Each structure stands twice: as C-alpha cells, then as structure tokens.
Amino acid sequence: MEKQNTLNNRMDMINGPLWNKIIQYALPVAATGILEQLFNASDIAIVGNFTGKAKTVSVAAVGANSPIVGLLLNFFIGIALGANVVIANAIGKKDEDSIHKAVHTSVIMSVIGGIIVTILGELFIGNLLKVLNVPDEVFPYALLYIRIYLLGMPVILLYNFEAAIFRSIGETKTPLKALAVSGVLNVMLNLFFVIVLKMTVNGVAIATVLSNVVSSALLFVKLIRIDSVIKIRKQELHFDKEIFKRIIRIGLPAGIQSAVFAVANIVIQSAINSLGTIVIAASSAAFNIEIFAYDVFNSFSQACTTFTGQNFGAGKLKRCRKVLILCIIEDAIATAMAVFLVLISGRFLLSIFNSDPKVIDIGYTRLLMIFSAYIFSMLYENLSGYLRGFGISLVPAILTVIGVCGVRILWISTVFPKHRTFKAIMTVYPISLSVTAILIGIAVIIYRPAHRFKIRESSN
C-alpha cells in the first residue's frame, strides 16, 4: 500500500488534459529561474548603488564573471536534467527501484561534482579571467568575487539536482518556495555586508553562497521527510554505477549543449570587455534583465522534457507529440508577454543597476537585439527538450556546438575585428540562434522519435 501511495503523490502527466498541467508545471519553474537570477541581479544592483566611487568597476566585475558562472551552472544543470529524464522514464514505467537509485545517486553526484569544480576553479580561474580580457581596474574585483562564489559550488549544484528530482514528479512549487526563502535572505545579507560592513563584491559573493546553503538544505530536509517515491533514505545513499551511466548518457550531452552557450558567450564577453568598462556594465545590466524572459520560455522546454519523458516511459507516444505542440504554442504566448513587459519597462529597470545614461542606452540596445532572436530560442529549446525526453541528447548537443558555438566564434574572429561596435557583437545572437533552430528542427523531422520508437515497439 505504501508503494502505491508514494507513486500517486505526483502530477499525473500520463493521463488527462495536458495544456493546463504544462502551465502548472512551467510557471513555477519560470519563477524559480527568475528568482535565481535575482541573486545575481541584487548583487549588481547593490554594488552599483552603494559602493561609492567603485560602483561601475564593481558592476563590471560581477558582470565579467557572468559567462563563467553560466558555464559552470549550465553544464551541471544539463547533467541534472539527465537525472530528471531517468526518474521521469522510471515513473512512467512504474519502476520504483530505479527511481530510488536515481534519486540517491543524483544527490551524491551533485556534491562530488561541486567539490571537483571548486578545486579546479580555484586553481585556474585567474588565468581564465586574463583570457577574457578583463580590464586591469576590474580584474582584482572580478577575481575576488569568483573565488568566493566557487566555494559555494557544492551547495549550488546540490540545489539544482534536488530541484530536478522534484520536477521529475511534476512538483515545481517546492524548489520555488525554498529559493524564495533564500532569495530574501540573499538580499538582506547583500545590504548588510555592503552598506553596514562597507564590503564590495566580496560581500555580495558571500551572501550568494550563504543563501544557496539555505536553499539546498531546505530541499534536502524536504526530500528526507516527504512521503513520495523520491524520498531520500540515509541508508540508501549509495552510488549506483548503472544509473550513473544512464544519467550521464542523457545528462552529459545536455550539459555540453547548455555549456556551449556559455562557452560562446565567454568569447562574446571577451569582445565586449575590449570595448571598455561602460560597455561591460551596460551589457551586464541588460543580461540580468533579459534573462527573466529567457527563464519563461526555458521553463516550457523543461516541461516538454519531463512530460515527454514520463509518457515515453509509459509507452504513450502519440501523447509525446501532443506535448511538443502544446509546449511550443503556450511558450510562444508566454514569451511574447514576458518580452513586452521587459521592453516597456526596460530603461527603468536598467537605471536600477546603473543610472549612467550611456549605460542605459547601450543596455537597451542589447535588449532589443537579444529579444529579436527569442523566437528562434524558444523553438530550439522546446525541440531539444522533446528529443531529451526520449533520451536523445547527443544530436541536439552536436547541432548546438555547430549552430551556436561555431557561428559565434567565427563571427567574433572575422566580423568583429572589422566592425568594432557593440551592435556588431549583438548581431551574432539572432544569426546563431536561427541557424541552430533550423538545424534542430531538421533533426526532429528526420529523426521522428515518436514514430521511430513506435515502429521499434511494434517489431518487438
């Protein structure tokens, strides 16, 4: 009886209407992503307003680290998505043994991965910042911030893996609640360290680490106490090699796919850094605004992966195709609304980070250029999420390397040297994302995963 109860304590993605459940799943994920971004946004806003003469340099220091932080987080969030798919497939098959093994293996993976990242990061981060052409006056601040941030990687990764575990059963509100608590704490600590203790980027970095300790701890306690198939039992906390291989088979390509964006953005950030402190500050402020709209459309991609994963596990292949169609339609509507709201309030939002008119003008230019590419991003993310739900991660990863990383690196190395302007850099976003969307769209049409797996099942 206990097993049946734990299996039923989840969103039913396999039966009944889909459109409303996709929204119920996606919106808390979007809110969680936005709240996560507010960690960094509050860092920039506070150092940009309360660090006196060092405000522009401090904002630039935090912003210069955004691609590095994105690289680390995107890579491991992609691997966490592998855990999400493995658990979702097992739920569809009602395989509780695999669910338990995947949950416990995921927790161990996150902590070990975080420790490794911390050690390697501390060893090589100085050289990486030099490669990024961080200006001399910004470099000491940027190095101080990222060294402190790296110390928190074990708990930051633990939170993201815990969130993936909850999302595999359709529970997206619990990670949001945990992050809301730690988000409020983060802002309060930022204000205390910077205003009261007169710290700069070191204060906001410490606040970010401490708040992530709280969010990961809250989710861990919840996983221990929850009456669900994803419950953590201390006696079962061991590493399962077969489950690990399955998670890596799906998660590693997904992590590489996500990290490719960050790698390409590091190249772009290097070009931005060469244009001076004002441009760095403007681009950083705009990034922390545009990412809110990104979190909206990315949440439907995650819904597409999880819903597809469960229905694929249950053998409901026609329903998988319906998931993709609904996710694209609902995502397009939600993304259009998010972009509209950001654009009409864009200049005001930019002024919160930095009131310099030049920073606001350059930042708003970035918003316009980036949003022009969001239709391609939305399509690309959902199609990739659909393929991942079937356990197909390598194909979208390879195409992303070609369409995103390849195009952006080629652009920065060939076009930018001849046209050294901020607009010239930003133009690469719509070009690279449209190419990637077309490539992955062609792959879905050729691969036809639902049809292919249906034929495979019929022949068995």
Among 67-81, 229-243, 252-266, 414-428, the least confident range: 252-266
Share of the chain above pLDDT 70, in %: 95
Q: What is the pLDDT of residue 297?
A: 85
Report the Cα 300 to chain-centroid distance in Å: 13
Residue 109's contacts (CB-CB under 8 Å, 6 or more residues apart) are: 79, 83, 161, 239, 244, 247
Q: What's the pLDDT band for 459 if we cut at 50, 70, 90?
A: very low
Question: How would DSSP label each residue in 123-149?
Answer: HHHHHHHHHTT--TTTHHHHHHHHHHH
pTM, rounded to two decimals:
0.82
Q: What is the pLDDT of residue 210?
A: 95
Higher-confidence residue: 326 or 10? 326
The mean pLDDT of the chain is 88
Is the four-CA dihedral 272, 276, 279, 284 of positive or negative sign? positive
Q: What is the pLDDT of residue 455?
A: 53
Average pLDDT over residues 239-253: 91
Average pLDDT over residues 167-190: 91
Structural contact between residues 35 and 185, judged by C-beta atoms closer than 8 angstroms: no
Q: What is the pLDDT of residue 1?
A: 35
Q: What is the pLDDT of residue 432?
A: 93
Whether the predicted pLDDT of 235 surpasses 60: yes
Residue 130's contacts (CB-CB under 8 Å, 6 or more residues apart) are: 139
Q: What is the pLDDT of residue 460?
A: 44
Higher-confidence residue: 376 or 8? 376
Residue 233: strand, helix, or coil: coil
Measure the CA angle with vertex 85, ends 394 and 210; round to 5°: 100
Residue 35, token pair as written in the block? 């709240």
Average pLDDT over residues 399-420: 91
Q: What's the pLDDT band for 4 if we cut at 50, 70, 90?
A: very low
Residue reference for tokens 């009456």? 227
Structural contact between residues 358 and 285, judged by C-beta atoms closer than 8 angstroms: no
Q: What's the pLDDT band for 292 if we cut at 50, 70, 90?
A: confident
Whether the predicted pLDDT of 130 surpasses 70: yes
**Per-residue pLDDT reduced to its tens digit, 44-60:** 778 888 877 777 888 88
Among 1-10, 157-166, 447-456, the least confident range: 1-10
Q: How far apart are CA 365 and CA 285, in angstroms?
A: 12
Q: What's the pLDDT band for 452 if we cut at 50, 70, 90?
A: low
Whether the predicted pLDDT of 371 surpasses 80: yes
Q: What is the pLDDT of residue 36?
A: 77
**Per-residue pLDDT reduced to its tens digit, 14-54:** 999 999 999 999 999 998 888 777 766 777 778 888 877 77
